[in-house]
């Protein structure tokens, strides 16, 4: 019997081509678009048309073109709870969260996979650039980098469990982005030339500070900019307006360029310093998930990536207490940011990853 | 047992054979414009006039009080947006929080132009209490608009009492009777209604045609500028086939109302008692004052959206909540207004029966639903 696959269709070109490829590979395919937030959730006036409506229409158009069923699921409550609330909580604690990682963990490969199974599907698929393979020797599902290194999205997928990977397909893993666009053009998809999405989906325009202030009702608690010795340098607008490594927008002129080194929640201070002070060699990660191994029982060499748009650097990862992992880079890396994730690679294979913790950075 | 069970009549009802038969000539050879002077036009005009009489008759109205529109939503918009129904001194509209979005969203838009409105709260059965209306009424109230029956939970409102209270305070009374028309007796005179919206496809007529009853002397004003159709108030070439189909369907459903009401409510009660055996199932809406075909529930820990799709896989059409423009199901504003917590409102399911439903349909629903609820709960509980 044909395997039934539910493709998460965002209305973009990647997931459209993913659905198309699965059909060509002989799967029984249906599409689902997730309705995750309303205008009110993103600060757009209620009276305006639904922000995601155009995307849903594009997805529906492609589904119709392919002759497959198309569903719309309202996962708004889950998205608010698992993604938006976590995003806000991260900023509250002085972190710089990555909501896409939580969305993949809790929504796309959590709630959507559960819904797919409930409706009798064998697996879900998305238009992510990544590969899933089963390794017979070790009896584990592996997550591997995409053929298109410039598009690789394994960084935001490292939380996937064995159970999730066993029911997940990434049809674009072996393709280059231009090839994907060519397939979309060939099929005449309405979205073939739609630009890639880059912003956080629920923060239109990318002004997350305005989102936190206006929608999440964050108080802009002003406080001091201080140097590494605690000397006051000026006033800041509230911690959530800043991120580690930032130089622009500090609003004070210095003799030499100053960068945000640290956000100190307890004292409501933003520590400024020189670019060289941004470099660090060791840090700890929590909420660890391992994919290529069950757990870490000894130090292992790995390439470690500490933000989405950065290449990995060589490091050794050590098991420490409570399932946490210590990372020690071979050479110091710039702006390791609490709340972002560190993902561990061996070659093309994702070993695992976790969330960068703030408190333990110095003691290690 | 048939493979397909349609149990979503509150969304739309199948086109009645009588309506189709009445419409056919006007979809084929009788294509004349009802405003044309020649014989073909005059025949269309006669058909429209006859339909208007039938509809007026069904509602206890005069033919010149019936105005054709494209749907219930249009009729509601006409009333809510009519400047003529308000004056400088009287410009407030009182409605309720359980109305259809055609009312609620129009009032919301009206608010932005500085015109006041107030939404009455419903009780836990979705009834609008007359004493609550009396408290809200004042000398500045121009209009009260309360639906005749609720579209989601089927609660029938005390329209005559609400209208009487409104009149005593010097306000006009409008009712959105989209769910009630053709299903329960409506007499605009007995009900003391000044304005009433209705829609054909809810009682076996075609989609794309509706109407507004405007009591003689009520200044509803001109809604669509155009060629002077509908006594100059709603321009636009008459939808002859639609109008004729609506009249035939309404006539038929009024003729069969007593018999259908009895038969359908027996089926509905059987369905309700069957569903209530599912642990954690609760009937929503008024157990007594209820549309004959409506059986609405919330299921603790389940998701209406998943239930609808699971039942769909078994060939059963039912609904849950109301779909937003993207097609996703939003938790029902009606259930929330009735005080049902959002988590529970998410587990809502509306089953609405019609004349063609049978005992077998009920059996099939009761066979499929308990398992669907259990599976949805299991998936949602993860």
Which residue from B112, B305, B379 is facing A74, i.e. has the nearest CB?
B305
Tell me the two tokens of residue B127: 């009834």
Nearest to A120 by CA among A20, A36, A30: A30
Two structure tokens written together for B62: 């005069």
Angle between helix axes B257-275 and B240-255 (nearest 10 degrees) is 80
Mean pLDDT along residues A40-66: 73
For residues A126 and A123, give the distance between their C-alpha atoms in angstroms, rounded to a whole number: 10
DSSP-H helix ranges across chain A: 13-24, 39-42, 53-66, 76-79, 85-92, 99-102, 112-118, 162-166, 177-187, 208-214
Which of A20, A93, A201, A265 is an active site residue? A201
Q: Which residue, among B346, B341, B302, B342, has the nearest Cα to B322 in the 3D structure?
A: B346
Q: Which of B202, B208, B203, B205 is nearest to B245 (CA)?
A: B205
List Cβ neighbours of B373 (8 Å cut-off, separation of 6 or more): B278, B280, B281, B299, B302, B307
Report the first-to-last Cα separation within chain A, whole angstroms.
Answer: 54
Phi, psi torsion values for B60, nearest 5 degrees: 70, 30
- Cβ distance A77 to B310 less than 8 Å, yes or no, reads no
Q: Are A211 and A203 in contact (CB under 8 A)?
A: yes
Give the architecture (CATH level 2) of A4-205.
3-Layer(aba) Sandwich (3.40)
User: Is B346's CB within 8 Å of A77's CB?
Assistant: yes
Given this model, what pLDDT does residue A51 score? 47
Complex-level ipTM: 0.85
Tokens 């004042």 belong to B138
Q: Do A50 and B326 touch (CB under 8 A)?
A: yes
Which whole-number Å values give the CA distances from B179 to A73, B96, B105, B166, in the listed order? Answer: 27, 16, 18, 22
Three-state SS at B139: coil
Q: Work out the average pLDDT over A282-295.
A: 96
Q: How far is B99 from chain A (nearest CA, A)?
A: 18
Please judge whether A35 and B328 are an interchain contact, meaning their C-beta atoms are less than 8 angstroms apart: yes
Instruction: Give contacts of A167 with chain B, Cβ < 8 Å.
Output: none
Q: Which residues of A touch B379 (CB under 8 A)?
A: 114-115, 117-118
Write down the H helix ranges in chain B. 17-27, 39-59, 72-80, 101-111, 130-136, 159-168, 240-255, 257-275, 304-313, 333-337, 342-345, 359-380
Residue A72 has its nearest CB partner, among B108, B328, B378, at: B328
> pLDDT for A81-115, tens place per residue?
999 999 999 998 889 999 999 999 999 999 999 99
Classify domain B17-254 at the CATH topology level. 3.40.640
Query: Cβ contact (<8 Å) for B379 and A118?
Result: yes
C-alpha to C-alpha distance for A262 and A271, rounded to whole angstroms: 5
Name the burial class of residue B101, with classes exposed (0-12), middle (13-18) and buried (19+) by CB atoms within 10 angstroms of its CB: middle
DSSP assignment string, A134-196: EETTTTEEEEE--SSGGG--GGGGTT--HHHHHTEE-TTTT--HHHHHHHHHHHT-TTTTPPP
Q: Which of A148, A138, A211 is nearest to A17 (CA)?
A: A148
Give B153→chain A minimum CA distance, Å: 21
- Taking an 8 Å cut-off on Cβ atoms, the answer to whether B379 and A49 are in contact is no
- Pseudo-torsion of CA A83, A87, A89, A91, nearest 10°? 180
Give the C-alpha separation, B352 to B202, whole Å. Answer: 11
Q: Nearest 5°: phi and psi at B212? A: -130, 125
| pLDDT over threshold 80, residue A359 | no
Model pLDDT, residue A184: 95
A115 contacts in B (CB within 8 Å)? 306, 379
pTM of the model as a whole: 0.90
Beta carbons of A325 and A316 less than 8 angstroms apart: no
Residue B164: predicted pLDDT: 97
- How far is the alpha carbon of A240 from chain B, nearest alpha carbon, in Å? 31
A117 touches chain B (CB under 8 A): yes
Which residues, in sequence order, are bridge partners of residue A232?
A226
User: What is the distance in angstroms between the Cα of B349 and the nearest Cα belonging to chain A?
Assistant: 15
The CA–CA distances, whole Å, from B26 to A116, B41, B351 equal 46, 11, 34
CB contact under 8 A, A73 and B328: yes
Say whether pLDDT at A361 is over 70. no
Q: B87 near B142, Cβ under 8 Å?
A: yes
Determine the pLDDT at residue B327: 66
Q: What distance in Å separates the CA atoms of residue B12 and residue B15, rounded to the nearest whole number?
A: 9
Residue A338 DSSP SS3:
strand
Contact B375 A118 (CB under 8 A): yes
Please name the residue of chain B whose CA is at the shortest distance from the CA of residue A52.
B326
| Chain A residues within 8 A of B380 when measuring between CB atoms | 114
Query: Residue A52 has what DSSP assignment?
Result: T
For residue A240, what is the DSSP state? G
Give the span between the Cα atoms of B353 and B334, in whole angstroms.
Answer: 20
How do the domains of chain B map onto residue ranges?
Answer: 5-14+257-380, 17-254
A50 classed as catalytic: no
Gap between the Cα atoms of A94 and A116, Å rounded: 36
Instruction: For domain A220-273, give the fold.
Output: SH3 type barrels. (2.30.30)
Query: How many whole angstroms separate alpha carbon A197 and alpha carbon B50?
Result: 58
Please report residues of A whose CB lies closer than 8 A to that of B309: 71, 119
Through-space distance between the first and last CA atoms of chain B, rounded to whole angstroms:
35
Hey, are the CB atoms on B305 and A33 less than 8 Å from each other?
Answer: no
Place of tokens 């110091």: A332
Give the Cα-Cα-Cα angle B106, B110, B116 (nearest 5 degrees).
Answer: 120
**A278-356 homologous superfamily:** Translation factors (2.40.30.10)
- Helix (H), strand (E) at residue B120: strand B117-120
Contacts of A77 in chain B (CB under 8 A): 342-343, 346
Please tell me the predicted confidence (pLDDT) of residue A228. Answer: 92
For residues A17 and A25, what is the distance between their CA atoms, to the nearest angstrom? 12
- DSSP β-bridge partners for residue B350: B296, B319
**What are the residues whose beta carbons fall under 8 Å from the beta carbon of B17, sequence distance 6 or more?**
none
Distance CA B231, CA B254 (A): 27
d(CA A221, CA A216) in angstroms, rounded, equals 14
d(CA B280, CA B298): 8
Tell me the Ramachandran region of residue A334: left when phi exceeds 0, alpha when psi lies from -120 to 50, beta otherwise.
beta
Cβ within 8 Å of B, A 32-71: 33, 35, 38, 46-47, 49-50, 52-53, 56, 60, 71
The answer to whether residues A209 and A219 touch, using CB atoms and an 8 Å cutoff, is no
Interchain contact, A71 vs B310, CB within 8 Å: no
- The span from the CA of A137 to the CA of A123, in Å, is 23
Residue A49 gets which letter from DSSP?
Answer: P
Q: What is the pLDDT of residues A139-198, one digit of tens each?
A: 999 999 999 999 999 999 999 999 999 999 999 999 999 999 999 999 998 888 888 777
Partners of A269 in the beta sheet? Answer: A224, A264
Which residue in chain A has the smallest CA separation from B372? Answer: A118
Mean pLDDT of chain A: 92
| Token digits of residue A10 | 């965002």
Burial track B335-356 (b if 16+ CB lie within 10 A, e otherwise): bbbbebeeebbbbbbbbbbbbe
Q: Over pLDDT 90: what percentage of chain A?
A: 76
Instruction: Please report, for chain A, the start and end positions of each structural domain, with discontinuous segments joined by +.
Output: 4-205, 220-273, 278-356
**Residue A32 vs residues A314, B25, B188, B328: alpha-carbon distances, Å:** 39, 42, 46, 11
Q: How far is CA B203 from the centre of its chain?
A: 10
pLDDT in tens, chain B (382 residues): 458 999 999 999 999 999 999 999 999 999 999 999 999 999 999 999 999 999 999 999 999 999 999 999 999 999 999 999 999 999 999 999 999 999 999 999 999 888 999 999 999 999 999 999 999 999 999 999 999 999 999 999 999 999 999 999 999 999 999 999 999 999 999 999 999 999 999 999 999 999 999 999 999 999 999 999 999 999 999 999 999 999 999 999 999 999 999 999 999 999 999 999 999 999 999 999 999 999 999 999 999 999 999 999 999 999 997 666 666 677 889 999 999 999 999 999 999 999 999 999 999 999 999 999 999 999 988 6
Residues of A within 8 A of B342 (CB-CB) are: 77
Contact B342/A77, CB-based, under 8 Å?
yes
Comparing CA positions, the residue from A168, A30, A33, A169 lying closest to residue A110 is A168
Integer Cα distance of A186 and A180 in angstroms: 10
Find the CB nearest B330 among A71, A74, A117: A74
**B310 interfacial to chain A (CB closer than 8 Å):** yes
| CB contact at 8 A, A347 and A314 | no
Query: What CATH number has the domain spanning B5-14+257-380?
Result: 3.90.1150.10
Q: Output the six-digit token pair for A114.
A: 């559960």
Residues of A within 8 A of B302 (CB-CB) are none
Q: What single DSSP character describes residue A257?
A: -
């Amino acid at each position: 019997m044909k395997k039934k696959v539910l493709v998460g269709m965002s209305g973009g070109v990647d997931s459209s081509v993913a659905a198309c490829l699965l059909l060509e590979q002989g799967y029984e395919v249906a599409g689902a678009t997730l309705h995750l937030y309303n205008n009110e959730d993103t600060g757009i006036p209620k009276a305006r048309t639904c922000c995601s409506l155009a995307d849903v229409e594009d997805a529906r158009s492609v589904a119709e073109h392919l002759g497959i069923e198309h569903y719309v699921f309202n996962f708004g409550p889950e998205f608010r709870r698992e993604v938006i609330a976590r995003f806000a909580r991260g900023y509250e604690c002085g972190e710089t969260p990555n909501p896409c990682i939580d969305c993949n963990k809790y929504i796309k490969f959590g709630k959507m996979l559960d819904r797919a199974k409930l409706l009798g599907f064998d697996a879900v698929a998305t238009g992510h650039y990544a590969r899933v393979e089963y390794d017979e020797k070790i009896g584990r599902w592996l997550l591997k980098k995409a053929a298109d290194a410039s598009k690789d999205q394994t960084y935001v997928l490292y939380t996937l469990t064995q159970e999730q990977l066993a029911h997940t397909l990434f049809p674009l893993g072996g393709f280059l982005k231009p090839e994907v666009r060519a397939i979309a053009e060939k099929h005449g998809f309405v979205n073939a030339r739609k630009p890639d999405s880059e912003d956080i989906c629920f923060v239109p325009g990318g002004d997350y500070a305005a989102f936190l202030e206006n929608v999440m009702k964050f108080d802009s608690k002003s406080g001091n900019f201080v140097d590494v010795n605690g000397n006051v340098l000026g006033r800041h607008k509230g911690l959530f307006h800043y991120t580690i490594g930032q130089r622009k927008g500090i609003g004070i002129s210095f003799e030499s360029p100053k960068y945000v080194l640290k956000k100190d929640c307890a004292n409501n201070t933003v520590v400024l310093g020189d670019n060289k002070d941004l470099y660090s060699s060791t840090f700890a990660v929590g909420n660890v998930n391992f994919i290529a191994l069950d757990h870490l029982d000894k130090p292992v060499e790995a390439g470690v990536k500490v933000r989405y748009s950065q290449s990995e650097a060589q490091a050794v990862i050590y098991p420490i207490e409570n399932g946490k992992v210590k990372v020690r880079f071979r050479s110091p890396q710039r702006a390791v940011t609490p709340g972002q994730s560190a993902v561990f690679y061996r070659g093309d294979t994702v070993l695992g990853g976790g969330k960068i913790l703030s408190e333990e950075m110095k003691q290690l | 047992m048939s493979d397909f069970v349609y149990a979503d009549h509150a969304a739309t009802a199948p086109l009645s054979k009588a309506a189709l038969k009445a419409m056919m000539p006007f979809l084929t050879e009788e294509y004349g414009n009802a405003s044309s002077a020649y014989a073909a036009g005059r025949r269309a005009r006669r058909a429209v006039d006859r339909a208007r009489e039938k509809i007026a008759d069904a509602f206890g109205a005069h033919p010149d009080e019936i105005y054709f529109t494209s749907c219930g939503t249009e009729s509601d918009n006409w009333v809510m947006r009519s400047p003529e129904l308000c004056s400088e001194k009287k410009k407030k509209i009182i409605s309720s929080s359980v109305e259809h979005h055609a009312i609620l969203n129009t009032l919301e838009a009206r608010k932005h132009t500085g015109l006041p409105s107030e939404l009455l709260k419903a009780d836990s059965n979705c009834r609008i209490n007359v004493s609550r209306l009396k408290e809200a009424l004042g000398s500045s109230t121009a209009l009260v608009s309360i639906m005749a029956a609720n579209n989601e939970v089927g609660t029938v409102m005390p329209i005559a009492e609400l209208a009487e209270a409104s009149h005593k305070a010097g306000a006009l009374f409008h009712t959105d009777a989209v769910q009630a028309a053709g299903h329960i007796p409506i007499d605009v005179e007995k009900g003391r209604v000044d304005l009433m919206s209705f829609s054909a496809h809810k009682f076996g007529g075609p989609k794309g045609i509706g109407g507004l009853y405007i009591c003689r002397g009520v200044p509803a004003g001109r809604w669509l500028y155009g060629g002077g159709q509908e006594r100059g108030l709603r321009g636009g070439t008459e939808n002859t086939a639609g109008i004729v189909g609506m009249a035939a369907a309404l006539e038929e459903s009024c003729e069969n109302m007593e018999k259908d009401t009895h038969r359908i409510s027996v089926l509905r009660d059987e369905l309700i008692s069957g569903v209530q055996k599912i642990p954690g199932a609760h009937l929503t809406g008024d157990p007594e004052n209820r549309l004959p075909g409506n059986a609405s529930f919330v299921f603790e820990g389940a998701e209406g959206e998943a239930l609808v799709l699971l039942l769909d896989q078994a060939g059963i059409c039912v609904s849950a909540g109301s779909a937003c423009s993207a097609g996703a199901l939003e938790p029902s504003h009606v259930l929330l207004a009735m005080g049902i917590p959002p988590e529970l409102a998410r587990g809502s399911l509306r089953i609405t029966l019609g004349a063609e439903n049978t005992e077998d349909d009920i059996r099939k629903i009761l066979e499929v639903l308990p398992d669907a609820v259990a599976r949805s709960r299991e998936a949602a509980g993860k």
